[in-house]
Every structure is written in structure tokens, then in C-alpha cells.
Structure 1
Amino acid sequence: MTVSRASQTSSLRPLPPRPARRRTRPGIASALVLSLALAGTTLLSAQEGDSGKTPPLEAGAAAVDITPQAFPVLPRGSFSPRPVDSVHDPLHARALALRSGKDRVVICVVDVIYIVEPTNSRIREEAAAATGWPVENILLAGTHTHSAPSPYPRHAALLRWWDNGEDNPDAPKAKSEDPAPETAFQKRTREGTVAAIVQAVENLEPASIAFGTHDVPDEVRNRRWYLEEGTMPPNPFGGIDTVKMNPNRSTITKPAGPVDPEVATVSVKTAKGKALAVLSNYSLHYVGGTGGQISADYFGEFARLVAYRVGGRKPPENFVGILSNGTSGDINNSVFSGTRPPRAPYEQITQVATKVADAAYLGVKEAEYVKSAPLAMRQRTVTLRCRRPDAERIAWAEKVLTMEPKEVKEAGMNSLAPHYAARILQMADYPETVDVTIQAIRIGEQAIVSIPFEVLVEIGLELKEKSPFPNTFTIELANGAYGYLPPPNQHDLGGYETWMGTNYVTPDSSGILVKELLEMLGELRE
């Protein structure tokens, strides 16, 4: 493992896109994720004035509509996506900018599944050029809604891959390996996200800030389960895992991991005491049940509702609510034990968003707002090892891709076998390593870390437990997206989140990143 203390976005080398069979240029995903940025990598204490006092805090926020205008579009988040031609609720890029003296932070969260390269770097670089704020001080993340169009240019071609067995899995081979042109939505997303960051910086004004937490335990459930003996179906590779994601409830015995019920909230007010922005964090993958329309999922509904929680019946017109995704790689909202009455489309989204917005309000209701707070950030580029298929796995993949869908079914194979076979052949051409960017931010006694993976919840809980700060949360899928990140003990159990083609880096990767992040938090605490 190699760690670079300099924050060089251009050094990122994302994994190749999936699921092409033929080798393509690097770029599996660099997910859109919340954009957090602090000045350089120095502690605020080094930037204090002659009096030794922490400079006053300034804050600005903005939300820009990025809802697609041209249809149909293909949502990202399904093995068999279907065109969508209508919108239930708008998509936004939402940004919060903070400044204290020479130190600064921008946090930008976008209503997409993630933001990949080269879009991720382009957005951050364009925003940095427009604001004069360092690119390494910008954290960009996606909410991980599964009901928004893909932000990845090549998905316009790749998403027709293996659609009901009617399309040739090799279709991407006929496409140019040159970078795909932006779609209308991708261009709108990029420009809107840059605009949100720029507007947030332009809107800076004297502010006060508070922090708080409140639990919502009844809407998060670990989706990985042990099953009754003899009931585990084969995985796509023909093996038998120890646990299964989202299993049939009739055979479950116990969950394979914990949950994190905490709703952590950063609340910002103007100098006159008006609500300016709220940034919350909850470890829930998404809610779903969107009825086949474009939707920001519960992240967007939270943003709408929390304005009334902290701003009253008539919240300030320019208030911005932001909900970031925590470590939710193995957490969803499904009911596995017990029953829940049927829901109308979007009904469950509203119910969950209401509870989380209530928790955000309750978390900061009695909190003390301060007009200054130490502001600092660390960013590192960490080199991780990529998983590579062996000769036996490659031979299996080549054989599967010669089979007709009917043959796959008659052989009793997992229906996803062709999908993962294509990914395996692509992974054979992966580089030995991939560079990923991680960040650690201090805002007073609140710490925020970012990881560019779909992170299993145990990792987030470990960071909270071992952090030197009283309050710490993780924003996942930030500054890139490189698949799932399970801890070693979950790797041992198998299951979707650990499969080669869903997980792309070696099992020791989570430990490496946790160690680096804790070291960075320690530096911020000094």
C-alpha cells in the first residue's frame, strides 16, 4: 500500500467500467458523492489571527435543479434497467460551503447513484477554477438514489447489456474505447453541480453552527442473512455462500451484521438566527418503491421536509437541506422478520424521510450554536490492490458467455452468472492497483470522513468508536466509486457484497483505509 500525502485528483486511477467483456479505459466509477472541502491540509489553528482566536465562521448553501429535461432516460441501479419517461420529484445538486479565516470546506451531495471519473474530477476542477478554492478541498458525493439516470457516459451503451437475455453481452466490444460523449443529463448534472458549489461560495455570510445526533433504529436493517441449513442457493460462480443478501424470509435465521441507527446532523444558521442549511447523515442504502419514475428517493424528500423542521411553517426561501449517505453497503429498509402493510408508490419514502427529518430536528433542538469553530481537513491518496481472477475463473467466464440464456437456466445456474462472467473477463485486464482518495474533516468537535466505496456498516461503526472526536460520521461514495468495501470478516462469509465483480479490491483494503483515516483524524485533533 502506498499513501500520498498530497491531494492530487489527477493521480486517481479508477477501475475500468463494468460490465464490458473487452478491456476498456480505466473508469469503473468515481461516484458522485458529497463535496466537502477544506483549505489545504493544515489545521485551522495555524490560520488563526494575531489574537490567537478562531476566526468567525461564514457559511453559504445552494441547491440547483438537475432533473433531466429529455426523455426517455435509463435509471442506474438495476441489473435490468427500463427506460423512464416521467418525473415524480426533482433531482438536485446541493452544496454547503464553510469558511473560517483561510480554511474552507465545500460539501456537495448530488441526487445520483454516484459520480464517476472523468466527471468527478471535471466537476471539482471546474468548481475550483470558478471559486478559487482548492480542488482538494471539495468533497463530491452521490446520494445513491437508484431512480435517477446514470451519471456515467458509457452506461448509455452498457446498460443494454444482457437485458432479459436479448442483447449480446459482447455488445460493448463494438463500441469505441474513446471516452463516450456526455448525454444531456450528464451535462446538466455536471454544470448544475458546479453551479451549486459556486453559488454556495458566493452566498457566504456570517453564521453559527451546531451539531447533534438522534437515533432512528426502526428504518435500518442489515440485509445479509444466515439461512436455514440446506436452503442457500448457488452464487453466480456456482459456489455456496454462508450468507445471502435480501433472502426469502421463509428461510432466514439471523442477520450477519449490525446496523447504525444514528442520524448525525450539522445545522447552520445566519447571524440573525435564521435557518440556513442542514447536513445530515444516515446509514441507509436507499428506500425505493418509486413506481418507475425519476425520483431523488428519500434523500430529496428529507431535503424538503427538514426545512419545515428547523425553519418553521415558513422556512427561509433559500434554506438548503442535505442528506448524505453513511456506511450503508449492507443496510436497507426491507422488512425481513415480521410484516409491513403494502405501500403505495413513494409512501415508504415519505415515511422514512419524515422520521429522519424529525431526528435531524431533535438532534440539534437543544444544541448550542457557536459563531466560530476550528475548521481543518486532511486528504490522502491511498493505493489499494485490485482483485484479479485466476485462470480457472477466467475459463469459467468464457464458457458461461458462450451459453444461451435458456442453457443457463436449464443448467440450474444463478441468473446473474452471465453478468458476472462479463465482469470477470473485464477484471482480468484490471491494473494491479487503484488509487483512491479519502478525506477527514474537522468542524469544531464534529469530524467527517469520506470513503469512495459502498461501505459496509461495521466499518463506519469502527470509525465512530475509535475516532478521537466525540462526533464522527462517514460519507460514502465520495470522490469516486470503486464498488463495495466489506471488512475481512464479511469477506469470509461471501454474499453479493463480496463477490468478485461487485467488490474490486482485496479483503485487506478496509483495514488499510480505516488505519489511514484514524491517523488523519488524530492529526486533526492535535
Structure 2
Amino acid sequence: MKIGFACSDITPRVGVELCGFGPFLNRHSTGVHDPLMAKAMAIDDGTTGFILVACDIVAIPLAMTQDIRIRVAGQIGISPEALMICCSHTHSGPTTYHYEGWGDPDPPYLRTLPGRIARAAIEAWERREEASFRLAAVPCTGIAINREYDRHCVPPDEALVPDWTPDKPELTDTTCHVVTAHSDRGLIGFFSHFSCHPVVCCEANTLIHGDFVGLASNAVARENDCIGLFVQGAQGDVNSCIAHESPDVSMKSLAIIADRFATSLRQGIAAAEPIDVDTIRHVAREPVFSRIDWDEQKLRELLQEKQTRVEALAAQEGSHELRLEMVLIGGLERMLRTLGEGGTLRPATQIQGLKLGPVALLGSGFEVFQAINNDIVSASEHSVTLVAGLTNDAMGYATDRDTAARGGYAQQQVPLMGASLAYARIHDELRDEMIALSQDLSDHPQPSGSTP
């Protein structure tokens, strides 16, 4: 088994708008606290090659993933499908896909981003060396809280106390999985998996960084003179315990929570035990998920309703209510343009699986709720099943049944922000597709990423 690691700086220039937290905030970056990186792990069993990439950005659409795959395949000869791109979902980085009003994408940055990400993948492949894998699962607490079923965030004087835990830890991820790679030189790299929105720094913050997962991964990698990837899990309804604070409080909290996560990473590296990975397998599926039944007439009626509302609010240009209505108008107008150009509001996506010995990494482009994650993991036959979100695509929230029934931000508003229809049965459909993906990994070895 040969394994290689590399990284590439994907930090944007200062001044680009940052992603998230509200309509038309004009939250332009003012400096760099910690660089944003694309980090890659290349694996080659002699027959099959595969590259896992982890990026310190909010998400990327499938079209950009395919662009990066073509660039990498053209340089090193592996199958385009033998590359998986995971995003951390930091909101202290640039907008990399279009969510109306939630931060404008920067065209020069987006034009250069695919090449910068591809560079990490290509260099990781070129640096392959004989190595082996180890695995650990360690406690990871004092970081996350379920924002739908517990509290949205916690006062700092409570959450920053040592040994703090949420009232309902079972509704969050409490385990950090760490997979390490070792050659004759020692530790050459690792990837970790944990589920939590990295939103310690929010709307009042304007510094660029990867939030607590990025800072911790970079710090531990520097300590070990290696490269450390972070793979985001099912963070859909899980926030960092601190959010929406002042810049000073946020930065203080960021250091503390990053150190908590770094502690788990260090423990995982120290505790990792060898695992047998003689061969690797990867598979993919391209499902189309069902959406609510809104036709063009319904969209036009909603648009007229929103435009009438805006006229009534016209004197309140800076109000949150008016800015939010403009977000929804923009989303509806984009949906109508898509239909007018012959496009679809029910696009396919890609889900992708990678098997490394006992570990099955199952990725989708969703922000997956914990209840869906739990259903997938409990049905999987693999010893260790890691559900990864924000992988290869940007598909919005996969809400659980209860949240979908309630409606609100994740179920109703976010689809309009992304100029898409809300999902109709995403809990059951995503669960079933991911379970089928898991079974595909067991049943059908995938040679398409053959080593050239």
C-alpha cells in the first residue's frame, strides 16, 4: 500500500465576502487569522488508486468537483471518479456557490479555486510511499450542541468552563475518528471525522480561517510535521456550542474550542491501532431526490407575493425583513430563469463511498441531520461507518422527518436561497441511497480508479 499527502493554500485575497449568517450582511473579510487549505491523501494498492481531498471552505457544487476531477485525471491518469472532495463548511471563508444574499461569490477566486485544489491532489499522488493505516475512535465532547432539539448556542460563561457538556449529548456527535498513515519515516498524515457546524465565529467576525476544525487540524499537523485532513460528518442540526458572539468573545472561544478538538486529535493519533487495508474500493451513485410539487405558476404567484411585500417595506432598506424578502425574490427569479432556459429544478447529485479495511466513508453533498446519520450507521454492515456531508456537491439540508414537518429555515428557506425546490422525503430517500451505497462497497469492488 502506498500513501501520499500534500496540501495547497486556497486562502482568498482579503476583501472577499464571507459566507453565511444572514441576508445581505456585506461581511467582507478584513484579514487572515489562519490560512485556508486544500489537503489531499492519495492511496494506491497497486491496482486501484484513490484521492481524498479535504478543503477549508463552505462547500463546492458538483460542476466544480467534476472540473477538478478532469484536471487531476489529465495529469496523473487515474479515473476522474477516483477522487472525493470534502468541505469543512467553515463560515469564516469565502462563498463558493450561490446562496442568494448569503455572501456574493468572488469570480476571480472561483476561477482559480479548482486549479488550487487539483494541485493538492496531484502532489499527494506524486508523493506516494509505502505506508500503512491505523485507526482510533476517541471521545470528543465540550464542542457541539444540537441546535434543533437542545439549544441553538450556549452562553460563553457556561460553555467555556472545563468539562462542559450539553444537556443532550446523545443528539450530537461525541466521537472523533482518526485514521493515521505511517511510513518508515513515522507519521506522514491523518484524517479525522467529526460532526459539527464550525461556526464559533459568526456574523460579527471578518477574519478568514477554518474555524475550530481548521485551526486544530493545522496545529496538530504542525506538531507532527505532517498533513491533517478534516472530514465533516453529519452536522446539519449540530452547531458549535458558541456562536453569534462579539468578535472578542468569538476569538477567545475559538482558541478554547479549537484546543478541545486538538486534544481529541492528539489522543486519536496516540491511540491509533493498525488496521488491515490490503485493497481499497470506491463506488458512486447518482440519485435524483424527490422535491415538493411546485410548478411555474406557483413560483410566479410566490414571486408576486414577495414583490408586493417588498413594496410595503420599501422605506426600510436596511431592515432584516426587507433583506430577507429580497433573498427569496432572488431565489424565485433564478428558479424561473432555470425553467425558462429548459433546465430542471430536480437535478441529480452524486453520493460516493470509499472503503479502507474496516472503515466505510459514505459521502453526500448534504448537511445531514443526526437522525438520518444514525439510521445509516445502524444499518451498515461495516465495522466503522463514517457519514460525510458537504462532499462533492452543495445540496442544502437533509432534514429529519420532524424538522421537515415543522418547516422553517432548514426545510423551507434554504432551498429558496439556493434557487431550488424543497425536498419532499429526504430523510427516507437519503437513508436508503446511503445504505445502498454502503452495500455496494461490500458487494462490488471498484477497479475504475486503476493505477496507471
- TM interval, shorter chain, is 0.7 to 0.9
Q: 2:424 aligns with which of 502, 507, 513?
A: 507
**Structure 2 CA distance for aligned equivalents of residues 77 and 158 of structure 1:** 9
The secondary structure found in structure 1 opposite 2:440 is helix
**Structure 2 CA distance for aligned equivalents of residues 424 and 457 of structure 1:** 29
Q: Is 1:279 aligned to residue 191 of structure 2?
A: yes
The secondary structure found in structure 2 opposite 1:265 is strand
Answer whether contact 2:136 2:179 (CA < 8 A) is retained.
yes
**Structure 1 CA distance for aligned equivalents of residues 180 and 320 of structure 2:** 53
1:432, CA displacement in angstroms? Answer: 5.0
**Structure 1 CA distance for aligned equivalents of residues 65 and 114 of structure 2:** 9
Please list, as runs of the form range in 1=range in 2, the aligned pairs for 1:438-453 lying within 5 A after superposition.
Answer: 438-453=351-366
Answer whether contact 2:52 2:84 (CA < 8 A) is retained.
yes
Q: 1:305 aligns with which of 200, 219, 222?
A: 219
Q: 1:416 aligns with which of 321, 324, 339?
A: 324
**Structure 2 CA distance for aligned equivalents of residues 270 and 346 of structure 1:** 37
From the superposition, tell whether residues 414 and 474 of structure 1 become closer, same or farther in structure 2 (CA, over 3 Å): farther
1:83, CA displacement in angstroms? Answer: 2.0
Answer whether contact 1:68 1:188 (CA < 8 A) is retained.
no
Structure 2 counterpart of 1:200: 124
**Structure 2 CA distance for aligned equivalents of residues 482 and 119 of structure 1:** 13
**Structure 2 CA distance for aligned equivalents of residues 256 and 489 of structure 1:** 19
1:269, CA displacement in angstroms? Answer: 1.0
Instruction: Give the aligned residue type for 2:305.
Output: K
Instruction: Give the aligned residue type for 2:327.
Output: H
From the superposition, tell whether residues 216 and 183 of structure 1 become closer, same or farther in structure 2 (CA, over 3 Å): same
Name which one, 1 or 2, has greater alpha-carbon Rg.
1
Structure 2 counterpart of 1:51: none
**Structure 1 CA distance for aligned equivalents of residues 96 and 374 of structure 2:** 29
Structure 2 counterpart of 1:184: 108
**Structure 2 CA distance for aligned equivalents of residues 432 and 294 of structure 1:** 33
Q: 2:12 aligns with which of 68, 76, 88?
A: 68
The secondary structure found in structure 2 opposite 1:401 is helix
Structure 1 counterpart of 2:450: none
Q: 1:120 aligns with which of 44, 65, 68?
A: 65
Structure 2 counterpart of 1:369: 274
Structure 1 counterpart of 2:86: 141
Answer whether contact 1:446 1:472 (CA < 8 A) is retained.
yes
Q: Is 1:85 aligned to residue 30 of structure 2?
A: yes
Instruction: Give the aligned residue type for 1:369.
Output: P
Instruction: Give the aligned residue type for 1:65.
Output: D
Q: Could you tell me which runs of 5 or more consecutive residues in structure 2 were left unpaired when the two chains were aligned.
A: 156-166, 444-452
Q: 1:477 aligns with which of 387, 390, 408?
A: 390
Q: 1:382 aligns with which of 283, 287, 296?
A: 287
Q: Is 1:100 aligned to residue 45 of structure 2?
A: yes
| TM-score, normalised relative to structure 2 | 0.82
Q: 2:404 aligns with which of 488, 491, 497?
A: 491
Instruction: Give the aligned residue type for 1:107.
Output: L
1:341, CA displacement in angstroms? Answer: 12
Please list, as runs of the form range in 1=range in 2, the aligned pairs for 1:15-414 lying within 5 A after superposition.
Answer: 57-69=1-13, 71-78=14-21, 79=23, 80-152=25-97, 183-225=107-149, 258-272=171-185, 274-289=186-201, 291-307=205-221, 315-316=224-225, 319-334=226-241, 344-370=249-275, 372-389=277-294, 391=297, 394-402=300-308, 403-404=310-311, 406=313
**Structure 2 CA distance for aligned equivalents of residues 467 and 225 of structure 1:** 25
Answer whether contact 2:56 2:210 (CA < 8 A) is retained.
yes
1:199, CA displacement in angstroms? Answer: 0.4
Answer whether contact 1:454 1:483 (CA < 8 A) is retained.
yes
Answer whether contact 1:487 1:507 (CA < 8 A) is retained.
no
Answer whether contact 1:98 1:105 (CA < 8 A) is retained.
yes
**Structure 2 CA distance for aligned equivalents of residues 419 and 407 of structure 1:** 15
Structure 2 counterpart of 1:173: none
Please list, as runs of the form range in 1=range in 2, the aligned pairs for 1:451-466 lying within 5 A after superposition.
Answer: 451-466=364-379
Answer whether contact 1:387 1:500 (CA < 8 A) is retained.
no
**Structure 1 CA distance for aligned equivalents of residues 246 and 290 of structure 2:** 45
* Structure with a larger share of its residues in helix: 2
1:214, CA displacement in angstroms? Answer: 1.3
Structure 2 counterpart of 1:525: 442
From the superposition, tell whether residues 341 and 135 of structure 1 become closer, same or farther in structure 2 (CA, over 3 Å): closer
The secondary structure found in structure 1 opposite 2:31 is coil
From the superposition, tell whether residues 96 and 474 of structure 1 become closer, same or farther in structure 2 (CA, over 3 Å): same
Shifted more, 431-440 versus 193-202: the winner is 431-440
Answer whether contact 2:411 2:422 (CA < 8 A) is retained.
no
| TM-score, normalised relative to structure 1 | 0.71
1:479, CA displacement in angstroms? Answer: 0.9
Instruction: Give the aligned residue type for 2:231.
Output: S
Aligned length: 416
**Structure 2 CA distance for aligned equivalents of residues 424 and 257 of structure 1:** 38
1:110, CA displacement in angstroms? Answer: 1.2
1:143, CA displacement in angstroms? Answer: 1.3
**Structure 1 CA distance for aligned equivalents of residues 381 and 276 of structure 2:** 23
Answer whether contact 1:257 1:458 (CA < 8 A) is retained.
no
Structure 2 counterpart of 1:23: none
Structure 2 counterpart of 1:232: none
From the superposition, tell whether residues 396 and 255 of structure 1 become closer, same or farther in structure 2 (CA, over 3 Å): farther
**Structure 2 CA distance for aligned equivalents of residues 409 and 492 of structure 1:** 32
CA-to-aligned-CA distance 1:48-88 (integer Å, 9 cap, x gap)? xxxxxxxxx1100011112224x421112232232223212
Answer whether contact 2:17 2:95 (CA < 8 A) is retained.
yes
Shifted more, 114-123 versus 362-371: the winner is 362-371
